[in-house]
Amino acid sequence: MIMLFYIAAAVAVISTVAVILQTNIVHALIYLILSLLAVAVVFYVLGAPFAAVLEAIVYAGAIMVLFLFVIMMLNMGQQSLDQERSWMGPRVWIVPSILAAVLLAQLLTVMSQYNYELSPTKVDVMEVSALLFGPYVLAVELASILLLAGLVAAYHLAKK
Amino acid sequence: MTFEVGSGLSIAVILTTVIVVAAMLIWVERRLLGFWQDRLGPNRVGYFGLLQVVADMIKIFTKEDWIPPFADKFSFVLAPAIIMSVILLSFSVVPFAPGVGVVDSNIGVLFVLAMASLGAYSVMLAGLSSDNKYALLGALRAAAQMVSYEVFMGISILGVVALSGSFNLREIVLAQTDGWYIIPQFIGFVIFLIAGVAESHRLPFDIPEAEQEICAGYHTEYSGMKFGMFFVGEYLGLVLISSLITVLFFGGWLGPSFLPPIIWFVLKASAFIAFFILMRAALPRPRYDQLMTYGWLFLLPVSLVNLLVTGVIILSTQ
Amino acid sequence: MLTLVKDTLTSQVVTLWRVFAHLWVKADTVEYPDVQPYMFPRWRGRIILSRDPDGEERCVACNLCAVACPVDCIALQKTEDEEGRWYPEFFRINFSRCIMCGFCEEACPTNAIQLTPDFEMAEYVRQDMVWEKEDLLIDGTGKYHDYNFYRVAGKKIGGKDKGEAQNEAVPVNVRSLLP
């Protein structure tokens, strides 16, 4: 089980790096989807099947589809590929690499100080729902009001 | 090796059966369409044309597997693989009979929805990588259609989930021992049926591949076995939707005990496959904007009201 | 919205049922190479040249069929025998061009050129689609059994002088003063 976690985590990390390094935007998007699916597997292994499947449905299945939809409309050709390549020069990497290195160092120190025992507790759909409509009901209702506003706005825009 | 849920034998048997059935559907569909259109259909190869599938397979395997030079090879090759694998993965949570199945998952319904939403990538990548205007138009239509109808599909299932109190498809079947969910969830069934047809983009909702308007839509540039994967994938989707309707609304393998459970499942699923083929024979294709209007202005409110009423009834009877 | 629901529930369901009921309707098609379909006598298929009841060629090489042909697939050359009877020296139909419109049959004053119910006209070699008079000419009278052009026409040929045709008066002698 723990091996599955490490494999999925490695896939997620590698594909995320590939997202950054890819110059072809469609390929980058495919790697991003792969990364999200790998994260879903990580959730599943850690005992949160509901979160895993929602990750697959909402992020990989719906939001990324919209990304791809927009890319289809934009007609990215060889020109955008060359532009992307020209942006990927070595000088661009300096600042982000330093920042990422700092973050990584922090993460490593935190992880080395605390010795977590990985013991997944299974959180089922029922418990998630009970929490959502119990202690967190206010947040859920606020989010739903936000979504309703979005829905009304979309309806208004589509009416025109 | 024993034949039980999740054993290697059971997985192998289910995989081969599902793929062979999907391939045989090519012949079944053409034959049934023939009968409904006062024709005979393919009947030359073997008895009643039964070997037509073999002939088709030989043809499709020996065809030139052509990748256009202007296509994006990575996505082009990936696309047909996605649809086949995604639909075959969905079959893993379908409970065919007691003891027959691949996985007994607690999130079966959600898994099917997740796989259905991933299936949209196949169509979109195929259209986008082909670098062809018909393919692109087909992919645009497919993306909008699949993302929209996924929503209604999910909401229409929620009534069943609320009634049975489980996302596990096997438990949903067992919860229907007292009565099939077709009766309390008739509206949910109709919406699921319509959304299922749209999701597997079969006629009358084959707008992404409407031959008369946009050639073959997203698989215009495909040939050989890559096209074959799309083709068989469509029939696999048909089998999947029929199985899901059987499981969710018609009691799965449940039935009078003079026939074994698996036969009941096959009978019910076959009836729905035949119904889908009948829809293809009878109904004309709507326009793209009509499909969208119909979905968002009619199916969405109705499915939400259905879910609300179901919830109220469940709470009031508890 | 209500009309939409009504359309969905009635029209579509009725359509589905009507198409389903066709399961019990006999197929209109026949298994062609094994079972020959019934062809109507007036079917416009392969073109033939017929003969009159006496066994002579009906065609008088008037060229009306070639003129009427919209795709110009008919070619012929007129000639005469020693008795003054007209007939085509050659008569050529290019079936790879022919559209089976039947205009030639309608134009023909002697019922010589006729379209038949034979539709199996495929050939492996394109040159074989060009048919000469020997190929086109049949031994029978085709669709019109009694018609003989020279027997009703006033033209003088060997064995039939002017005024001897059916329903034809003897020619007026313009040099005579008698009534």
The DSSP code for B283 is: P
The answer to whether residue C125 sits within a structural domain is: yes
B71 Rama class: left (phi>0) / alpha (psi -120 to 50) / beta = beta
Q: What is the pLDDT of residues C76-90, one digit of tens each?
A: 999 988 888 888 999
- Could you tell me the end-to-end alpha-carbon distance of chain B, in angstroms, rounded to an integer? 45
Q: What CATH number did the domain enclosing C90 receive? A: 3.30.70.3270
Determine the pLDDT at residue B42. 84
Q: What is the pLDDT of residues A133-158, one digit of tens each?
A: 888 889 999 999 999 999 889 888 87
The CATH code that applies to domain A2-89 is 1.20.120.1200
B22 closest CA partner among B225, B268, B232, B224: B232
The answer to whether residue C177 sits within a structural domain is: no
What is the C-alpha separation between B153 and C80, in angstroms, rounded?
A: 83
Interchain contact, C22 vs B294, CB within 8 Å: no
Q: How confident is the model at residue C103 (pLDDT cuts 50, 70, 90)?
A: very high
* Tokens matching residue B177: 């021992």
The answer to whether residue C30 sits within a structural domain is: no
Q: What single letter denotes the amino acid at residue B161?
A: V
- The minimal CB distance from A27 to the residues B74, B111, B167 is found for B74
Interchain contact, B36 vs C12, CB within 8 Å: no
Residue C1 distance to chain B (closest CA, Å): 8
Average pLDDT over residues A88-111: 83
Number of neighbouring beta carbons within 10 Å of residue A42: 21
| pLDDT of C1 above 70 | no
The answer to whether residue C6 sits within a structural domain is: no
The answer to whether residue C99 sits within a structural domain is: yes
Residue B230 burial class via C-beta count within 10 angstroms: exposed 0-12, middle 13-18, buried 19 and up: buried
Chain B partners (3+ C-beta pairs within 8 A): A, C
Interchain contact, C28 vs B38, CB within 8 Å: yes
What domain range is C92 assigned to? 47-152
- Looking at chain A from residue 6 to 65, which residues have their Cβ under 8 Å from any Cβ of chain B? 24, 26-27, 30, 33, 49-50, 52-54, 56-57, 60-62, 64-65
What is the C-alpha separation between B73 and B81, in angstroms, rounded?
A: 13
C133 closest CA partner among C61, C52, C68, C44: C61
Q: Which of B283, B289, B293 is the best substitution to test chain C (most C C-beta atoms within 10 A)?
A: B283
pLDDT tens string, chain B, 318 residues long: the values are: 456 666 778 888 888 888 888 888 888 888 888 888 888 888 888 788 888 888 888 888 888 888 888 888 888 888 888 888 888 888 888 888 787 778 887 788 888 888 888 888 888 888 888 888 888 888 888 888 888 888 888 888 888 888 888 888 888 888 888 888 888 888 888 889 888 888 888 878 888 787 778 887 788 888 888 888 888 888 888 899 999 999 888 887 887 878 888 888 888 889 999 999 988 888 888 888 888 888 887 888 888 898 899 889 888 887
Domain segments of chain B as ranges: 67-317
Instruction: Please give the tally of structural domains in chain C.
Output: 1
Determine the pLDDT at residue C71. 93
| Cross-strand pairs, C115 | C47
The answer to whether residue C89 sits within a structural domain is: yes
Q: What single letter denotes the amino acid at residue C134?
A: E
Residue B281 distance to chain C (closest CA, Å): 7
Residues of C whose CB is below 8 A from B40: 27, 29, 31
Q: How confident is the model at residue C12 (pLDDT cuts 50, 70, 90)?
A: confident
Length of chain C: 179
Interchain contact, C20 vs B278, CB within 8 Å: yes
ipTM score: 0.79
What is the C-alpha separation between A32 and A42, in angstroms, rounded?
A: 15
Interchain contact, B35 vs C16, CB within 8 Å: no
The answer to whether residue C160 sits within a structural domain is: no
